[in-house]
Amino acid sequence: MERMAPLGRVGRPEDIADVIAFLASEQARWLTGQLLFAGGGHRMF
pLDDT digits (tens, 9 = 90+) for 1-16: 667 777 778 888 998 9
pLDDT at res. 33: 84
Contacts 24+ apart (CB under 8 A), 42-45: 42/4, 42/5, 42/6, 42/7
The mean pLDDT value of the chain amounts to 82
DSSP H or E run through 45: none
- The string of pLDDT tens digits covering residues 11-31 is 889 989 999 999 999 999 998
C-alpha neighbours within 13 Å on the C-beta side of residue 33 = 0
Side chain identity at 5, as an amino acid letter?
A
